[in-house]
Chains A and B, each alone.
Chain A
Amino acid sequence: MAPQFPLRLRERDHWNFFLTIPDMDRSKVKINSVKGSQFLEPLFEFSGACGGCGETPYIKLLTQLFGDRLLIGNATGCSSIYGGNLPTTPYSSNRDGRGPAWNNSLFEDCAEFSMGFRVTLDKQREFAVELLQKLADKIGAPLVNDILGADQSTEGGVALQRARVEQVRGKLKGDKNGDAIRLLGVIDSVVRKSVWGVGGDGWAYDIGYGGLDHVLASGKNVNLLVLDTGVYSNTGGQCSKATPLGAVAKFAFGGKPVPRKDLGLLAMTYGHVYTAQIALGYNDLQSVKALLEAESYDGPSLIIANSHCIAHGIDMSRGLDQQKLSVECGAWPLYRYDPRRAAEGLNPLQLDSKPPKIKVSEWAYTETRFKMLTKMLPEQAQHLMERAQETTDAHWRFYEQLAALDYGKNGKPEAK
C-alpha cells in the first residue's frame, strides 16, 4: 500500500496516454467471439457496484456489443443504483460522442418503459421514411433507396447507414423547407437501435412480472435482460420467486421450500420470444451468442443471466466458479430458444450446458445461503437438499426432452 495522491499525479499521465490508444474499428472486429467482443470499447466503466459484482460484467458486455446505439430502461434495484449513482454515471460515450441512453424506470415497469422507447423509435423511423420518400428528388433517389434498403445486420452495415445519414445531413443543411427541417430531426432513427430493459429478479419474477409478460406478448422488438441473483440484493437479501429451493433469504429463514420459477420456460411457451439462460462463468461464448441473437431477432427477447452476489455468502473473487458449479449440477441449465429455428423445421431450443455431473449439494454447500441452514435446522436442510436434487434432476430431464422434440415440418405431423 502506498499513499494515493502522489501515485495519482503520476498515473494521470499514463491514463491520458492510455486514452490515446485507438480503439478497434467496430466494423472489422469479429464480434461473435469472446476475444472479438472484448476488443470493443466498453461504454460502462467504474460503476459503484460491490467488488466482484456478478451483474456488471453482463452490462459491460451489452455496452461493448451495442453501446453506440443502445437504449436502456432500468428497473429500480442494484443496477439502477450502481448504474445511476449521481452525480456520476458509469455509462460513457465513445470518441464519436455515441453511448448508451440510460434511464431508470420505476421498480416494476422497466419492460413497459423500454417498450415506450421502442414504439417511439418505430414511429420516428416511419416518419423519417415518409419524409425521405417525399424529398427523394432533393436528396437523390439512389441515396434514399440505399437508406431504405440498408442491411444493418452487421457492424459494417450500421457504419454505412450512419455515413448515409451524414450525407443526407449535408444535402439538407440550411434548407428552410419544413419537411427538410423535420427530417433532420428524425433522420437518426433510420440507424438501427438496440432497446433493452434491464433489471433484477425482484423486478422480473415478482413485481414487474405482469409487465414483462405483457411486453413479451406484444411481439415488439424489445430485449429484456434479467440480472438474476435469486434474491432482492438491493433491499438487503429478501427472498424472490427466483430464490432457489433450500436457500435461506430474509422472509425465508427456514430455507425456500419450493423451486425457483422457471421464467424462461414461461416465455418460451409463447413461441415467438427469443429466450436464453446464460452464465458467464460456465460458457462466456454462449453469453455473447445469446446477446447477439436476441438483439438480431426482430421481436421480443428475454435473457436470464446468472449473477453471483454478496448476498449468496461467497468469496466474491470466485464468483464465476460459483456460477460454473451451479450449471454443472443442473440447477442453472444453459440454453437458447430461437423462434427463427422453428421456421426452418428445427427445434428452437438448444441446450448449451452438459448433463449434471455433480450433486446440487456440491454447489449449494459452497455458499453460505444454503450452508447456514445445515447449522440452524439440519433436518430441514437435509430434506430441502433432497428435494432440490429431485427437482433439479427432473427439470433437466424435462429440458432434455423439450430440446429433443421433432420440429420437422414446423410441428405439423408427417403426412402418411
Chain B
Amino acid sequence: MSQSNDRVFWPGNEIIVEAALRAGCTFFGGYPITPSSEIAAHMALRLPQIGGTFIQMEDEIAAMGAVIGASLAGAKSLTATSGPGLSLKQENIGFAMMAEVPCVIVDAQRGGPSTGLPTAPAQSDIMQARWGTHGDHSVIALTPTYPRELYIETIRAFHLAELYRTPVYVMLDEIMAHTTESFRIPSADECGIIKPRSEYTEARVNSWRPFNDYFQGQHLHITGLSHTAEGFPTTNPAIVHKSILHLVNKIVNAQPQIERNAEYLLDDADIAVITFGSPGRAAREAVLAARANGIKVGIFRPITYWPFPVQTVRDLVDRVKAVVVPELNLGMLALQVEKSAMRPEVRIHPVNETGGIAIEPERILAAIEEAQRGI
C-alpha cells in the first residue's frame, strides 16, 4: 500500500478491503481461492488493527455461515470468493435471503464451469448471482468497472445490505481483482451513506416484520423454513405466499432507488455499447476510436446489475439503431438486453470471450463498425 494525500495505488482486491472497512465492516469469514485470496489475506492483516475479526474457515459454505452468524450478532460482515466457491456458498446464501440477513459477498469471477480457469477473468457468474440458490427471491448485485467505482460500490453494497436486509453481491473479475492502479480515494460525499446498523430505521419500514437489533429487547427466532412475521415456522399457504412476495418485492419495488448506471456519449448515439465490469474499459477506448471515424456511438453500463434496469435499457434501445454487447461470457447480458428491448428490428451484436482473456478494444470497434454498416 502506498499513499500520498488521498491518492493511492492499490489492486482491486485491496480496494475492496479498504472500502469495506470504511463502510464499517468488522467481520470477514473466508477461504482461500484464486483470484480473490488477497481480499482475505489483506483482511487478516487489517481487521485486527481496527478491533475487527477475521476468521479463516474450513471451506466456502462454512465461511458463508460465519458471515451470517457474525451479521446476526450485529457486525457488518463480508466474505469474498470466486466461481467454484460461490457455488459452494449457495445454500447459505439462500438461508441469508430467507432469513433476511444483511451481508456482502464479493465474487472475483474466473473462468468456469467447475475449476475452469483459476487465474483468468470471466463474467459468467452473473446469472449464478441471480439464480444460484433455489427458491423465489430477489437479489442485488453491483458491477463496477473502475477503481473508484469499485471503492464506492463496495461501500454502497454494505448500505443496501442493511437497508434491504439482504445479501448483496459485488461482482468483479480477475482483471479488476489483480490490476493495481492509481486513484483518488472518494470523499465522504462521494461514498454515499455510511452509518451503523442501529441507525437503519428505514429497514424497519422495508421489512414486513419489526426490525429490532438482534439480541436486543425481544426474543427472536431465525430460520430458513418458511416463517411468519414473527420468525416462527409456518406452512400456512397464505402466509408463506406473502412472505415470498415480500422477499421479492422489497427489492423489486425499490428498483428506482437501487438502480445506478453509467452513461457515456449516448446523447446523439445511433449505436449503444451495453456492457458491464472490466470490458467497459475496452469499450471506452473502442467508442473513442469509432467516434474519431465519425460513428455516433456511446456506452451504457449497469452498475446495479441486479435488479436489472429493464425500463432504462428499454428506453435506450428505443432511441438507438443498433446495440453492441461485449461481455466475458456467452451472452448473459445480451440475453437480458434482448429481454428488456421491445423492438425486434434493433440488432444486437454480441462480442463474447470465454477463453480467459480480456476483450480487446479492437474487437469491440470491429463490432461497432459492423453495427454501423448494418444501420
The residues of A with any CB-CB pair to B shorter than 8 Å are: 76, 80, 104, 106-108, 202, 206-207, 209, 232, 235-236, 238-239, 241, 250-254
**Beyond A107-B59, A238-B37: 15 further Cβ-contacts under 8 Å?**
A80-B115, A106-B115, A107-B115, A202-B32, A207-B59, A235-B32, A235-B34, A235-B37, A236-B32, A238-B32, A239-B56, A250-B37, A250-B44, A251-B40, A254-B48
Residues of B within 8 A of A253 (CB): 44-45
Q: Mark B323-365, 1 if CB is under 8 A from A, else 0.
A: 0000000000000000000000000000000000000000000
Residues of A within 8 A of B44 (CB): 250-253
| Cβ-based interface call for B308 (8 A) | no
Enumerate B79-114 residues with CB–CB distance to A below 8 Å: 84, 88, 114
Residues of B within 8 A of A76 (CB): 115
Q: Is the CB of B54 within 8 A of A251?
A: yes
Q: Within the assembled complex, what's the spacing in Å between the Cα atoms of A251 and B114? A: 25
Residues of A within 8 A of B290 (CB): none
Residues of B within 8 A of A241 (CB): 58
Instruction: Kindly name the residue among B32, B58, B88 whose own CB sees the greatest number of chain A CB atoms within 10 A.
Output: B32
Q: Within the assembled complex, what's the spacing in Å between the Cα atoms of A239 and B40? A: 11
Q: Is the CB of B40 within 8 A of A238?
A: yes
Picked from A80, A106, A239, the residue with its CB within 8 Å of the CB of B84 is A106
| Cβ-based interface call for B276 (8 A) | no
Task: Given A250-B41, A253-B45, answer yes or no on A238-B56 (Cβ-Cβ < 8 Å).
Answer: yes
| Cβ-based interface call for B16 (8 A) | no
A249 to chain B, nearest CB (A): 10
A85 to chain B, nearest CB (A): 12
Q: Within the assembled complex, what's the spacing in Å between the Cα atoms of A26 and B99? A: 62
Residues of B within 8 A of A202 (CB): 32
Interface of B is mostly: mixed
Closest to B42 in A: A250
| Cβ-based interface call for B21 (8 A) | no
Task: Given A207-B58, A235-B32, A238-B32, answer yes or no on A106-B37 (Cβ-Cβ < 8 Å).
Answer: no
Residues of A within 8 A of B88 (CB): 108
Q: Within the assembled complex, what's the spacing in Å between the Cα atoms of A127 and B59? A: 39
Q: Within the assembled complex, what's the spacing in Å between the Cα atoms of A108 and B88? A: 10
B338 to chain A, nearest CB (A): 33
A198 to chain B, nearest CB (A): 16
The interface size bin for chain B is: 20 to 34
Enumerate B26-73 residues with CB–CB distance to A below 8 Å: 30-34, 37, 40-41, 44-45, 48, 54, 56, 58-60
A376 to chain B, nearest CB (A): 12
Q: Within the assembled complex, what's the spacing in Å between the Cα atoms of A241 and B30? A: 14
Q: Is the CB of B41 within 8 A of A207?
A: no
Residues of A within 8 A of B31 (CB): 206-207
Q: Within the assembled complex, what's the spacing in Å between the Cα atoms of A339 and B247? A: 55
B115 to chain A, nearest CB (A): 5
Closest to A108 in B: B59
B312 to chain A, nearest CB (A): 39
Q: Within the assembled complex, what's the spacing in Å between the Cα atoms of A251 and B38? A: 10
Q: Is the CB of A235 within 8 A of B33?
A: yes
Instruction: Kindly name the residue among B41, B48, B54 whose own CB sees the greatest number of chain A CB atoms within 10 A.
Output: B41
Q: Is the CB of A251 within 8 A of B115?
A: no
Closest to B87 in A: A106
Q: 9 shortest A-B CB distances, which residue pairs?
A: A207-B59, A238-B32, A235-B32, A250-B41, A206-B58, A251-B56, A251-B44, A232-B32, A235-B37
Q: Within the assembled complex, what's the spacing in Å between the Cα atoms of A241 and B32? A: 13
Instruction: Kindly name the residue among B44, B54, B60 whose own CB sees the greatest number of chain A CB atoms within 10 A.
Output: B44
A340 to chain B, nearest CB (A): 32
Q: Can you identify 20 A-B contacts, CB atoms within 8 angstroms? A: A106-B84, A106-B114, A107-B84, A107-B115, A108-B88, A209-B58, A235-B32, A236-B37, A238-B32, A238-B37, A238-B40, A238-B41, A238-B56, A241-B58, A250-B32, A250-B37, A250-B41, A251-B32, A251-B44, A254-B48
Residues of A within 8 A of B33 (CB): 235
Q: Within the assembled complex, what's the spacing in Å between the Cα atoms of A250 and B54? A: 12
Q: Within the assembled complex, what's the spacing in Å between the Cα atoms of A184 and B41? A: 55
Closest to B115 in A: A76
B339 to chain A, nearest CB (A): 33
Residues of A within 8 A of B84 (CB): 106-107
Residues of B within 8 A of A254 (CB): 48
Residues of B within 8 A of A235 (CB): 32-34, 37
Task: Given A235-B34, A236-B32, answer yes or no on A206-B41 (Cβ-Cβ < 8 Å).
Answer: no
B81 to chain A, nearest CB (A): 12
Instruction: Kindly name the residue among B33, B37, B56, B84 whose own CB sees the greatest number of chain A CB atoms within 10 A.
Output: B56
Q: Within the assembled complex, what's the spacing in Å between the Cα atoms of A254 and B54? A: 13
Q: Within the assembled complex, what's the spacing in Å between the Cα atoms of A304 and B60? A: 24
Q: Within the assembled complex, what's the spacing in Å between the Cα atoms of A250 and B37? A: 9
Q: Is the CB of A104 within 8 A of B41?
A: no
B356 to chain A, nearest CB (A): 14
B262 to chain A, nearest CB (A): 33
Closest to B35 in A: A235
Q: Within the assembled complex, what's the spacing in Å between the Cα atoms of A207 and B31? A: 9
Closest to B43 in A: A251
Residues of A within 8 A of B30 (CB): 251
Q: Is the CB of A104 within 8 A of B40?
A: no
Instruction: Kindly name the residue among A80, A108, A207, A252 whose own CB sees the greatest number of chain B CB atoms within 10 A.
Output: A207
Residues of A within 8 A of B60 (CB): 207
Residues of A within 8 A of B115 (CB): 76, 80, 104, 106-107
Q: Is the CB of B59 within 8 A of A251?
A: no
Q: Within the assembled complex, what's the spacing in Å between the Cα atoms of A104 and B114? A: 11
Q: Within the assembled complex, what's the spacing in Å between the Cα atoms of A237 and B150? A: 26
Instruction: Kindly name the residue among B31, B33, B34, B40 whose own CB sees the greatest number of chain A CB atoms within 10 A.
Output: B31
Instruction: Kindly name the residue among A104, A107, A239, A241 whose own CB sees the greatest number of chain B CB atoms within 10 A.
Output: A107
Closest to A238 in B: B32
Q: Within the assembled complex, what's the spacing in Å between the Cα atoms of A209 and B57? A: 12
Closest to B58 in A: A206
Residues of A within 8 A of B54 (CB): 251
Picked from B34, B41, B58, the residue with its CB within 8 Å of the CB of A251 is B41
Residues of B within 8 A of A108 (CB): 59, 88
Q: Within the assembled complex, what's the spacing in Å between the Cα atoms of A373 and B59? A: 27
Q: Within the assembled complex, what's the spacing in Å between the Cα atoms of A163 and B332? A: 56
B61 to chain A, nearest CB (A): 9
A372 to chain B, nearest CB (A): 14
Q: Within the assembled complex, what's the spacing in Å between the Cα atoms of A95 and B248? A: 63
Q: Within the assembled complex, what's the spacing in Å between the Cα atoms of A106 and B118? A: 13
A207 to chain B, nearest CB (A): 4
Q: Within the assembled complex, what's the spacing in Å between the Cα atoms of A104 and B118? A: 14
Residues of B within 8 A of A238 (CB): 32, 37, 40-41, 56
Q: Within the assembled complex, what's the spacing in Å between the Cα atoms of A252 and B45? A: 9
Residues of B within 8 A of A107 (CB): 59, 84, 115
A345 to chain B, nearest CB (A): 39
Residues of B within 8 A of A239 (CB): 56
Closest to B60 in A: A207
Residues of B within 8 A of A106 (CB): 84, 114-115
Residues of A within 8 A of B114 (CB): 106
A165 to chain B, nearest CB (A): 36
